[in-house]
Each structure stands twice: as structure tokens, then as C-alpha cells.
Amino acid sequence: MNPAPRKNKSVYLLEIEPLDLGADVRAMGLELTEADENREPIRGADAARIWSRVLRAVASAESWALDFFSHLDRLRDYLQRHQIPYREATKHTLVVPAPELAILEPLLDRFQGETFGARVGRRLAEGDATLEGELARRGVDAYHTAFSNYVFCAICNFEDGSLILLSEKLWASEVIRRIRPALEGHDVEIRLAS
């Protein structure tokens, strides 16, 4: 008698949960961990592979960009060496518009130890000098007063395995709907936190 086939168990877990950041902010946290009892954050190339697909999927067909505001000399050197387009929004803020997956994955792998941001929405085309100036001054805290102008603003802290989405337009169920196809075949279980 043959034993019943084992069901493939996911290697990684991506949990999505609403966050309480105050009455004036609607946010959800995405946490990428090992799918075991230790729940250690995922780092390295696997994390970059997964997060790059998550960012692009949640952005969907909208205009989007990454916002960097620290260690800019290293970042600028990397972008120039790899011929990745970017814009110097301020002396202390670089904006990388919608990198393709082949560019985004190694970029996230190289800079996942940094905290940076992402924005999605039409407002990117117009520019947002106020927000970009505040990013240089306050870092991702600047998104607090600006996120309602976008589909979402995101705080990328991939070293700790987390992505925080600030959005009045997206719900956790919509985020799951968008990312599920992008992570198919990548050993990731996606679920709402209980």
C-alpha cells in the first residue's frame, strides 16, 4: 500500500493585518517570515524575489516609484553603474520610477538593509515637492500627512521582513487578490493575520 502523497508545505508565510496607527491613518502590515514555529523574517535573495513581486503586484497598473532618503551616495553609485533611471527630487531624496522586475529584484536585494518608501498614484507624474522635501527631513514619517493623495504610500523595512501600506483606497482583501497571482509557485502562503 502506497502512503498518501504529502501535501507541499509552504516555505514562507506572508501575513497581512490591519494596523492601528491612529484615527487619522488607515494602514496594513505585511510580514514575510519563515512558515514554521520560529517565524523568523526572510532576508536575502529570496526576500528580494518575493518583495519585488509584491510591490509590483500591489501597484498594479498605476504609476509608482521608490523613495530613498539615506545612504544616497551608495545608492546613486549603484543606480549609475547599473544604468537605472532615477530622479534627484531634493538634495537628500532620490526617486526611482517603477523599476522592471529584472531591475527591482537585485535593487531590493542590495538595499534591503535600508528603510525606504514607495508611492503609487497619478500624483507622481505631477511631482510632489512638498512630500519629497519632507521625506528628506523626516524619512517615512512624511507619508503620514500625504498618503491620502496616493493609492498608497509604503514603508519598506525588508530587513525586518515588513512592508506597511498606508492607504484609504486599498483593503487587505484587495491586496491579497493582487499579490496572489504574482507569488504563485514561489512557496509563499498568503493569509490574513488571525
3-state secondary structure of 174: helix
Q: Can you tell me which residue has the cell 526617486?
A: 95
User: Directed axis angle between helix 172-182 and helix 45-59, to 10°?
Assistant: 120
Q: Which three cell numbers stand for residue 186?
A: 514561489
**pLDDT tops 50 at residue 78:** yes
Mean pLDDT of 118-138: 90
What pLDDT does residue 9 have? 60
9 φ/ψ angles, rounded to the nearest 5 degrees: -100, 135
Give the pTM.
0.90
Residue 150 CB-density burial (10 A; 0-12 exposed, 13-18 middle, 19+ buried): buried
Q: Tell me the pLDDT tens digit for each residue of 116-126.
A: 999 999 888 88
Give the pLDDT confidence of 85-95 residue by residue, as tens digits: 999 998 899 99
Length of the chain: 194
